[in-house]
Amino acid sequence: MAEVKVTINGAQTSGREGVTILELAQENGIKIPTLCYLTELSPTGACRICIVEVEGSRTLVGSCHTPITPGMIIQTHSPKVLATRKVIIELLFASHCGFCMLCNKANVCNLRELAADLDVGLSPFQTRKRFYPIEDNPYIQIDRTQCILCRKCVRACREIAENGILGIAYRSFDTKIVIDNDQPLAQDTCRDCDICISVCPTGCLSKPKKLSAAKTGKPLIIC
Amino acid sequence: MTKIKTQTISPQNENILIRLKRVESQFGYIPEESITEVAQSLDLPVSEIYGVATFYSFLATKPLGRNVIWVCQNLPCHLKHAEITIDNLERTLGIKPGETTSDNKFSLELTNCIGACDYAPAMLINRDLHGNLTPNKISQILKLYK
């Protein structure tokens, strides 16, 4: 494999042909934020958080799916990039339900972490919110109001779990994660695989809460 | 539910859209069974075929009426007040977008750009283009369809 010489943030470096900007940046210890990217999955460039500035390029490019080319001059944290990333987070929050204090996954949420990193407070973009009832079975809980449509679960279900149960359907504002052909979540739809839950960057997919009502045995009474 | 046969699908043809289009021309819409069959014959997940079928406005996943109205909802039509057109059609037909009248005469659907921005606001009825729509014009046009 030929070595490709590029400049990242002013420093000369080189990488193997076919390596993406994101991978090369990670090799060089530069942290580019991502939401929809996972090393094991095929890149989709759905979330746009990983955008970087490439000299000569008309627009900012998604670094997770753009391979390096000879002589590329890349800026990963220029003011323009940071400002755009901030707007992207604000746009993701526009239709996200956003009640972090009520969310079980608030402290493991990549979206919230990024919002904190990029100094995003209340989103200036407010739109109607999506409403979907929460679905659950003993293995998984799906709260689509928190979904940011990163498609990680869809790819994990197809590529890692090799089930292909989850998919993405409909268009524009109505786009949502579906099970097969928009079936309701049944008791036996999913088993203990949990892969989609572990890759979900928000609180959309989680383990169902075990309510005390489900406990068996005598209640403990202290007198 | 009775199983609908879709023998016309040849396993050689690997194009999802062509297959879905063929199913639609056979049944008038794409039944759930056909989605499963297309998925099986292409060795793809059902969810993927369903995603494609629901993404396109011109692929119907439920039965439609005799005449189908597609109202454009993209930006140029929106700026020319397409919502007045949609409102007007809703009131005239008594249905919401995505529904069919009880006499099965009209289905009202919203679509993305139909390439008639110079006639905005525009709609298609059974692939006939009607542009520069006004409430008066709409009632005239609807009379043309039986």
Q: Which residue of A has its CA nearest to B44?
A: A164
**Facing residues of A75 across strands?**
A53
Q: Which domains does chain B have, with CATH numbers?
A: 1-63 (1.10.10.1590), 67-143 (3.40.30.10)
Burial A11-25 (b: 16+ CB within 10 A, else e): eebebeeebbbbbbb
Say yes or no: A67 and A91 in one domain. Answer: no
Give the Cα separation of A150 and A202 in Å (integer): 10
Say yes or no: A126 and A52 in one domain. Answer: no
pLDDT, tens digit, for every residue of B5-16?
Answer: 444 444 544 688
| Domain annotation covers residue A217 | no
pLDDT at A118: 93
Q: A165 vs A146, A203, B41, B110, CA distance in Å?
A: 20, 19, 17, 28
pLDDT at B77: 95
The dihedrals phi and psi of A18, each to the nearest 5 degrees, come to 95, -10
Contact (CB, 8 A) for B23 and B6: yes
- Least Cα separation, residue A212 to chain B (angstroms): 35
A158 touches B at CB < 8 Å: yes
A184: domain CATH number? 3.30.70.20
Q: B25 vs A52, A57, B19, B32, B49, CA distance in Å?
A: 45, 44, 10, 15, 17
**Pick from A51, A77, A103: which residue ends a domain?**
A77
Q: What percent of chain A has pLDDT over 70?
A: 95
Give the Cα separation of B139 and A207 in Å (integer): 54
pLDDT, tens digit, for every residue of A21-32?
Answer: 999 999 999 999
**Pick from A77, A95, A127: which residue ends a domain?**
A77
| Domain annotation covers residue A63 | yes
**Facing residues of B28 across strands?**
none
- Domain extent at residue A20: 3-77
Q: Which residue of B has its CA nearest to A171?
A: B55
**Facing residues of B135 across strands?**
none
- pLDDT at A196 exceeding the cut of 80: yes
pLDDT, tens digit, for every residue of B91-142?
Answer: 999 999 999 999 999 999 999 999 999 998 999 999 899 999 998 999 999 9
Q: Residue A61: which of A90, A22, A31, A19 has the closest Cα? A: A22
Three-state secondary structure string covering A22-42: HHHHHHCCCCCCCCCCCCCCC
Confidence of residue A223 (pLDDT cuts 50, 70, 90): low
- Least Cα separation, residue A111 to chain B (angstroms): 25
pLDDT at A137: 87
Confidence of residue B3 (pLDDT cuts 50, 70, 90): very low
ipTM for the predicted complex comes to 0.83
Q: Residue A49: which of A99, A97, A106, A120 has the closest Cα? A: A120
Q: Which residue of B has its CA nearest to A158?
A: B45
Give the Cα separation of B117 and B125 in Å (integer): 16
8-state DSSP, B100: B
Q: Dihedral sign, CA of A73, A74, A78, A81?
A: positive
B35 contacts A178? CB cut-off 8 A: no
pLDDT at B7: 44
